[in-house]
Amino acid sequence: MNASYDVIVVGAGPAGLAAASVTARAGLSTLLLDENPGVGGQIYRGITSTPVSNRAILGEDYWVGTALAADAKTSGAEIVNGATVWSLDPERLVGVSIAGQARLIQAKRVIVATGSQERPFPIPGWTLPGVMTGGAAQTALKAYGMVPDGHTVLAGSGPLLWLLAAQLLRARVKLDAILDTTPRLNWVRALVGLPDFLLSPYFGKGLKLLREVRGKVPIFHAAHIEAVGTDRLTEVVFDGRRLPADLLLLHQGVVPNVNLAMAAGVAHEWNERQLCFQPVLDADFGSSVPGIAVAGDGAGIGGATAAAERGRIAGFAAVRALRPEASVPDTQALRQKLQREEMGRAFLDWLYRPAESFRRPTGDTVACRCEEVTAEQVRVTARMGCEGPNQMKAFLRCGMGPCQGRLCGLTVTELIAAEREVSPAEVGYYRLRPPVKPITLGELASLPIAEAERKAVER
């Protein structure tokens, strides 16, 4: 690994793989860093190593990732897995740890492709062993060939919940129930987007998935869900009914993984339709910080196909900036394709908009899992005049644990917004501090001396 690169891409999901392929093939020195053991990101998790040999289980959309991974591999990009990026600053100095060794690497351009994470799903008991995210079960299947064993309940809403159900059923997993938390009235608002949705690829796929799952699993509508157990999950209680359960899988959509971009100083804005913060970006996915782009779902949720297209567009922008003499294909066709991908999104966003009760918890429900801060504590503190998440951090320590707000940030923002009766846009988000992933003191101490001398910063 070198001390500097033309382009550093963070995250080897569809956006990162596509972006790195584009820049490396254009002759730019390209480093692609990813913290997971293999490439693919979450959507194509385990794409080069999955033990699942029956291709039908994961479905054709998954195997699209094979070509992306292969393309990146032969592109000339240097791909490093097990590389945890813990800092990115506005001068595009990237802090990364690989096998316990920390280093700082300079890039002329950085493409942040850190993708999405599942939206927090704060219900009573969601910290109990036996409660996991739907994405976790999908990862277990894709990357490790592992499936739920025992009484299994899925709960939540959104396309990925139905995809997971279908994949598990194909792997002959018995599902005890699906608790659909989609508010029934969402249809009304979603209808406006219906014509676009009917024309988008989502329509056919979605219908097929629903048909595949219905009839094989009892499906209930649920407005209130509770995970019950003392030291581990034993029961799921919903709307007055009880089900014995060993595993409860929660999912209510995905949101951009904002930590790295925010810590780099990239300006973000509230997306009211998708109920999350996303970076403010130009047409090439360039951010408010010169030289830093954000592509893929991290730029706003658009799905895997859109992510790869966004990655390519961001990659071509880097090529144009660093090698103006290089011939870059016209990205117009790419942009049109991307637009078609994104067209059906509005319908899905409105249809699967998570219920307020599952985003804005009450009472003893844990909001911050790390520091074990309850929804009521956050609400009371907001009512006492604490106006924003950063002050809330100082009062309650929420967001100050190792996950650094990933699983409480949106909840805390929404709770403050609810108590103050203002928009989450006005409340804002945590100011995120590096390292965006914890590093050991020993790793930090291991930063090479030569580099320490190189960056003598003038105040």
Site for other proteins in 21-40 (CB under 8 A): 35-37
Find the binder of other proteins among 69, 111, 222, 400 (CB under 8 A). Answer: 400
Cβ-Cβ contacts under 8 Å for 148 (sequence gap 6 or more)? 137, 168, 173, 246, 247, 249
Segment lying near other proteins (by CB under 8 A), choices 72-80, 356-364, 367-375, 411-419:
367-375
Pick 52 or 295: Cβ nearer other proteins: 52
Which CB, 69 or 343, lies closer to other proteins? 69
Among 67, 101, 149, 195, binds other proteins (CB under 8 A): 149
> According to CB under 8 A, which residues from 200 to 239 bind other proteins?
231-232
115: left (phi over 0), alpha (psi -120 to 50) or beta: left
Q: Which of 257, 274, 377, 411 binds other proteins (CB under 8 A)?
A: 257
With binding defined as CB under 8 A, does residue 433 bind other proteins?
Answer: yes
Residue indicated by tokens 């003598």: 456
249 binds other proteins (CB under 8 A): no
- How far apart, in Å, are the Cα atoms of 212 and each of 136, 167, 169, 178? 21, 10, 9, 13
Q: Residue 247 in contact with residue 400, Cβ under 8 Å?
A: no
Residue ranges in 2-54 assigned as alpha helix (H): 14-25
Q: How far is CA 62 from CA 49, 163, 298, in A?
A: 13, 11, 19
Q: How far is the CB of 393 from other proteins (least distance, A)?
A: 9
Where on the phi/psi map is residue 421: left (φ > 0), alpha (ψ -120 to 50), or beta?
Answer: left
- Shortest distance in whole angstroms from residue 190 CB to other proteins: 28
Site membership for other proteins, residue 90 (CB under 8 A)? yes
Q: Which residue has the tokens 């508010």?
A: 183
Q: Applying CB under 8 A, which of residues 15, 52, 175, 237 lies at the interface with other proteins?
A: 52
The CA distance from 295 to 19, in Å, is 8
Q: Does 127 bind other proteins (CB under 8 A)?
A: yes
127 versus 339: smaller Cβ distance to other proteins: 127
Residues 376-395 binding other proteins (CB under 8 A) are 387, 391, 394-395
Q: Is 402 in the site for other proteins (CB under 8 A)?
A: yes
Least distance to other proteins from the beta carbon of 78, Å?
20
Alpha carbon 425 to its chain's center: 20
Give, as one character, the DSSP assignment of residue 214. Answer: B
- Structure tokens belonging to residue 175: 């599902």
371 near other proteins (CB under 8 A): yes
User: Does position 144 bind other proteins by CB under 8 A?
Assistant: yes
